[in-house]
Amino acid sequence: MRGLQAAGGAPLTGETEEGAAPAAPLPRRRRIAVLATIVPIVYALDLATKTLVLRTLEGREPFVVVPGLLQFRVIFNSGAAFSLGTGMTIVFTCVAAAVVVAILRTARNLRSLPWAITLSLLLGGALGNLTDRIFRSPSGFGPGRPSPLQGHVVDFIETFPGHFPVWNIADSAIVCGGVLAVILAWRGYQIDGTRDTGAAKTTKTATTTNEGKENSDG
């Protein structure tokens, strides 16, 4: 049987012709379960911690946890994650909304558990900060709120005070999700559950080289 497969050009290793090794696909129910678990956890942690620090630390001196290393200090960030790009609030609001839509669309083709975790972190973090953009002051849609979609994000975690931007739970989830996405892409893991190993390309190159040697010897 292996001889017939080899003669017919069928792959013997279970890899596709493009070098994408098929993996056990993530069932739809499990995919939804991962998203439905991690996203609310990230969102709830972000919302709860922001609410807590606003009630206890807003307008007060920083709460020092480890001197010179970690403290909690409330700031209102009009820019992107880690206080970058201040003054471009509405731009980042639109970007965050676009990211949420893109992740939801991508999730329809999701068959990989690592990618399910990655997208859940990105989505939970994006929703957390997007909520601030829409509902925090000076944003809003009621009287006295003339700037819709320009709310300021609550940041409160300050590591290495004076040397590193202040951040929040949503920021950390976005960064962790981004790092995981880079690692998965680098390792060849695809959202649909396959893995691009590059084996087919290597095999094709080796075959071409061998054929060239045989022709030169002949």
Query: In this structure, what is the dihedral angle of CA atoms 61, 66, 70, 76, given to the nearest 10 degrees?
Result: -10
Active-site pick, 46, 132, 171, 196: 171
Is 155 part of the annotated catalytic residue set?
A: yes
Separation CA 10–CA 8 (nearest Å): 6
Contact between 174 and 126 under an 8 Å Cβ cutoff? The reply is: yes
Active-site pick, 155, 192, 196, 217: 155
Q: Which of 146, 4, 133, 17 is nearest to 76 (CA)?
A: 133
Q: Which of 117, 105, 134, 102 is nearest to 36 (CA)?
A: 117
* Crossing angle of helices 113-135 and 89-106, rounded to 10°: 150
Indicate which residues carry an active-site annotation. 155, 171
